[in-house]
Structure 1
């Protein structure tokens, strides 16, 4: 056992692992689902961050409710319901009603003679050409039809505005272009649907749902089942097995496994912090943190794909005083990059020596989150078992650690702030997770599953 340069006690023994394999989709889903449900239910994780993580559409979704609607419309139950819709709409239920109207000189439908007599006597002229008639008409705006139309409006608007724009093959497996076009025609042109109130104007009540639920027609009972599931999904009933299964079934597709891997890793790191007696705090709307933890002495802010209160940008002016020839060449390359980017793309850039953003920023403060952090953990997460990727991630991480700074406090490596690096990979075998004298810890995803997670990434101050 040796003392690192920072004074931290580290183990220098070499670890020996059995051969590992990459975590697949199901292992990641299983590892995420339970904690995701818990965090969402308690409001202790940033909804916007989760929406971006689980965005399987490349639509830059920031509102979780929008993502839920997309997940709902991609589910097998909704796709099957829409596929059967055209045939089922032939048996739409209606109610025969009679509307009372006053006519002059003509009779429409049955005459309501008592009402007609009262009408004539109310008029001093005693106009005998006036009639109070009961005109028959067909009522489409009955409870079960309103539930059906609201459901179809929800599906149609989501498919048209979101799902149709998805360019991946898996979208076509659920909603092909032909299916989308056929549904659009049915929704817009079906004579029965067109006579039901516009879906945007319908407010579904408990009475409407009960009527649909008790219907003898599968069209309405299925509409009730789906709309009730949709309501529960939006309301955050994550502990409901039906909703939990829906999220699991549509959580991710193969193109998005690296994102799911990041979510898996961050949730396991949060579990590690909680084991240090930290408690997750509710996240306010608009917050930039993924999560906030506190104990009686510290506040910990956790950021994903954000720099938090830190900066990782080094301006070109830092070259002043560097060897003239080298500095001039760097300036020339950066200035040309700025000019050509403007010429090619019309975009403006700011020349710099270095800029970037780590996958993970954890800031530890003594008391409230004010001033310079007491400790910072910077993390890179790579869903890879390749040593080449490990090397690239390690280089990126070391640069972040070197250039991390905070306004008014300068480079953290020159302050009293403890700066630690965390590199997480999937199944890259290393000789030592935390080499003696280093400030970087490596964690393999398999360590999260086995509980054999190195503790060196947790700042000494907590």
Structure 2
């Protein structure tokens, strides 16, 4: 069986991502860790969305057209009333001048009340424009300028960034508008930009409105959904993207297997990627997290009883010592330590026990290789044997059912054997029975 086509992999993740984000039923932190650009180590979803916003075609196109458009930026002619002595600025308001000479400056014929004309740049439309450009400029300076990757240069070349910086900092019209840091567009400002006859301002409103809704989590807006679908998934990270594909498919499958459970809104900072719940059951789904389980076996807790184990214990202890000598840092001294790609825990609410009723441990391998399949199978068996809560090993607990699920991208292998199930990613939606036997 061939690997999943990349366009299908990307397309289905994009669609599911928008759906889950829109309903708030997936942990945004997991999205960040999975869809983050290679090597950027972004752990803030707001920051990630801001980067993707500035990489989107509407923003790039708007900035490219800006040098020509900004020449005809809109202003308002205003008149400011000033009091002068010995000089006249603009037209004299004789009524006010007479009052001034008979009150504060009695008898001083060198005092004038004048109406001095000036050009106002801080009009509502310009405030929206400047705030949008401030968001883009801040992201270019703090984020994009340091990204030396082809995908960045495709949207923002070095020359484009230099031109935008120069325009933003030196353009005489933009400089006369209040600094973007101090601008918080009001409803009146936004309405003025939205209803303007100038394309510069209506486009600025549309793009800034998309940014506001994106950052506030209003994923039901069509423009926000389009931006997420077009920019948020990074195809170059196929193994991680494949994991998210499998996680989404598994969550959908669990929803069908447990129709009495409802996907819950995930609060910020939650460890689980998704949670399903009813009056009697709670199901927690973890991705690249150990959940409430432990998969760590300290070496100090084990007494060596055989010559083989004593030799193995000696190797581990010597390894710790030599790591300190060679690299001046220690090494973990553990008999075993690991973490599954997927942990599903099912709890019965009416019981007093802290142990889950059922546990599904999953390992995902983006491969057609039988050798990688074999490694994944061994890892999965280790997870099922070492998984514990406190001092209780789950596979030894009479009231806990533990199953293992190995997901690959095309290995030809039997799908059921001894509490372990194998599925190919493309078959997840149609293999309800195989997964059901692990959880029911």
**TM superposition score normalised by structure 2:** 0.92
Q: Is residue 433 of structure 1 aligned with residue 415 of structure 2?
A: yes
State how far apart, in whole Å, the 1-side matches of 2:434 and 2:305 are.
36
State how far apart, in whole Å, the 2-side matches of 1:318 and 1:58 are.
37
Paired positions, count = 436
Q: Is residue 49 of structure 1 aligned with residue 16 of structure 2?
A: no
Aligned counterparts, 1:295-334, within 5 A: 295-324=278-307, 326-334=309-317
1:188-218 deviation line (CA, Å, top 9, x unaligned):
2222211111112111123222322333333
Q: Is the CA contact (8 Å cut-off) linking 1:384 and 1:428 kept in structure 2? A: yes
State how far apart, in whole Å, the 1-side matches of 2:289 and 2:325 are.
26
State how far apart, in whole Å, the 1-side matches of 2:370 and 2:54 are.
40
Q: Is residue 394 of structure 1 aligned with residue 372 of structure 2?
A: no
State how far apart, in whole Å, the 1-side matches of 2:341 and 2:148 are.
26
CA separation of 1:225/1:341 partners in 2, compared to 1, >3 Å: closer, same or farther?
A: farther
Partner residue in 2 for 1:447: 427
Query: Which deviates further from its counterpart, 165-174 or 392-401?
Result: 165-174
CA separation of 1:412/1:256 partners in 2, compared to 1, >3 Å: closer, same or farther?
A: same
Match among 373, 388, 393 for residue 411 of structure 1 = 393
Q: Is the CA contact (8 Å cut-off) linking 1:47 and 1:64 kept in structure 2? A: yes
State how far apart, in whole Å, the 2-side matches of 1:323 and 1:351 are.
19
State how far apart, in whole Å, the 2-side matches of 1:368 and 1:110 are.
84
2:416 partner SS: coil
2:215 partner SS: helix
Partner residue in 2 for 1:288: 271
Match among 341, 358, 379 for residue 359 of structure 1 = 341
Following TM superposition, by how much is the alpha carbon of 1:458 offset from its aligned partner in structure 2, in angstroms? 3.4
State how far apart, in whole Å, the 2-side matches of 1:394 and 1:373 are.
23
**Mind listing any 5+ residue stretches in structure 2 that lack a counterpart?**
none
CA separation of 1:461/1:216 partners in 2, compared to 1, >3 Å: closer, same or farther?
A: closer
1:390-427 deviation line (CA, Å, top 9, x unaligned):
122112111111111111x4221221221111111112
Following TM superposition, by how much is the alpha carbon of 1:324 offset from its aligned partner in structure 2, in angstroms? 4.1
State how far apart, in whole Å, the 1-side matches of 2:102 and 2:393 are.
94
Partner residue in 1 for 2:407: 424
RMSD value over aligned CA atoms?
2.3
Partner residue in 2 for 1:458: 436
Query: Which deviates further from its counterpart, 133-142 or 25-34?
Result: 25-34
Q: Is the CA contact (8 Å cut-off) linking 1:159 and 1:180 kept in structure 2? A: yes
Partner residue in 2 for 1:131: 112
Aligned counterparts, 1:3-152, within 5 A: 20-56=1-37, 58-123=39-104, 125-152=106-133
Q: Is residue 384 of structure 1 aligned with residue 367 of structure 2?
A: yes
CA separation of 1:166/1:385 partners in 2, compared to 1, >3 Å: closer, same or farther?
A: farther
1:236 partner SS: coil
Aligned counterparts, 1:365-380, within 5 A: 365-367=347-349, 371-380=354-363
Match among 199, 205, 212 for residue 193 of structure 2 = 212
Q: Is the CA contact (8 Å cut-off) linking 2:363 and 2:406 kept in structure 1? A: yes
Following TM superposition, by how much is the alpha carbon of 1:378 offset from its aligned partner in structure 2, in angstroms? 0.8
2:102 partner SS: helix
1:362-388 deviation line (CA, Å, top 9, x unaligned):
111111796111121111112222222
CA separation of 1:153/1:342 partners in 2, compared to 1, >3 Å: closer, same or farther?
A: farther
Q: Is the CA contact (8 Å cut-off) linking 1:443 and 1:454 kept in structure 2? A: no
CA separation of 1:452/1:459 partners in 2, compared to 1, >3 Å: closer, same or farther?
A: closer
Following TM superposition, by how much is the alpha carbon of 1:307 offset from its aligned partner in structure 2, in angstroms? 0.7
Following TM superposition, by how much is the alpha carbon of 1:90 offset from its aligned partner in structure 2, in angstroms? 1.8
Match among 159, 165, 171 for residue 184 of structure 1 = 165
State how far apart, in whole Å, the 1-side matches of 2:53 and 2:45 are.
12
Q: Is the CA contact (8 Å cut-off) linking 1:29 and 1:248 kept in structure 2? A: no
1:236-262 deviation line (CA, Å, top 9, x unaligned):
333333322211111323322222221
State how far apart, in whole Å, the 2-side matches of 1:232 and 1:36 are.
16
Following TM superposition, by how much is the alpha carbon of 1:235 offset from its aligned partner in structure 2, in angstroms? 3.4
State how far apart, in whole Å, the 2-side matches of 1:46 and 1:263 are.
12
Match among 195, 203, 216 for residue 176 of structure 2 = 195
**TM superposition score normalised by structure 1:** 0.88
Following TM superposition, by how much is the alpha carbon of 1:461 offset from its aligned partner in structure 2, in angstroms? 5.8
**Mind listing any 5+ residue stretches in structure 1 that lack a counterpart?**
1-19
State how far apart, in whole Å, the 2-side matches of 1:104 and 1:337 are.
85
State how far apart, in whole Å, the 1-side matches of 2:21 and 2:422 are.
29
State how far apart, in whole Å, the 2-side matches of 1:265 and 1:442 are.
13
Partner residue in 2 for 1:240: 221
